[in-house]
Amino acid sequence: MSDQIIGKSFGRYQITARLGEGGMASVYKAYDTRLDRSVAVKIIHPAQQNEQFLRRFEREGRALAGLNHPNIVQVIDYGDEGGIPYLVMVYEPGGSLKDRTGSPMPHRQAARMLIPIARALGYAHQVNIIHRDVKPSNILLTESDEPMLSDFGIAKLLEDQSATNLTSTGTGIGTPNYMAPEQWEGRVLPQSDIYALGVVFYELVTGRLPFTGDTPPAVMLKHITGNFPSPKTYVPDLPDEAVRIIYTALAKSPQDRFTSMADFAAALEAVANSPTAPAADMHTQVRVSIPPPAVPAAAPGTGSDD
């Protein structure tokens, strides 16, 4: 959606600037003329519009507005303008976690950043909502650097509108670089979010994605059958406890991952709060040992995560 929408109004929200764009929607900063405040407006791309979708959008919008967690960006309104659906969310001015990727982050800092996100996902799973598109650009930051998870339910909302199209990055089914093996097969489980958050943790501590490719099908094949380079390849002094978390979260089979986001959060807390977490404590939460380091793959491709 082009920037010609800037200056237009969606309901009482006047669009002032573009914040970002993905395969399914664009996000704009807007001015709420009734409450005199800045908000974020996510506008669904026109290709998604039809009467059935608008009905589903209204139903899902109500469900998303009912999510109440301190680390989930709150949906405060929804509607459609001339048949173009939009969600209105709290505006977070600190950018996104994507801005912090590209170089290794200290593992304790990365763990502390993701603990609130794991808890937020755990809360959503308890009310039977799976995010489906966990990635750094969907983790926003407040002015005080508190992480906030956004875009709940968007992938689910658009899922039935698009066939599984492996050439359309980020459309409907998720974002290829963060998708669990079962997602490529059309199955989505709470453990699919665990896998995606594991990819984010790997990316933060190494500065690299575990799997990349020049096309979504190439990325798919690596997620389903490939071995990722050990994070110690890039961060030799990374503690074994952090490595175990990555291998558990990125297990190919959902049942080999953490059993819940609560377990994932507990493992991250152990790493974040103890320089040498007791092995016995870690084994109560991590059910696999560290495999032998995989032979690093060929030089990463240019896969996009948006």
- Backbone angles phi and psi of 38, in degrees to 5: -85, 145
CB atoms within 10 A of CB 208: 19
CB atoms within 10 A of CB 221: 14
The neighbouring-strand residues paired with 85 are 80
Distance CA 85, CA 43 (A): 6
Distance CA 294, CA 134 (A): 25
* Amino acid code (one letter) for 1: M
Q: Which of 252, 253, 259 is nearest to 286 (CA)?
A: 259
Is 133 annotated in the active site? yes
Phi-psi region of 92 (alpha: psi -120 to 50; beta: other; left: phi over 0): beta
Q: Which of 32, 133, 151, 305 is catalytic?
A: 133
Residues noted as catalytic: 133
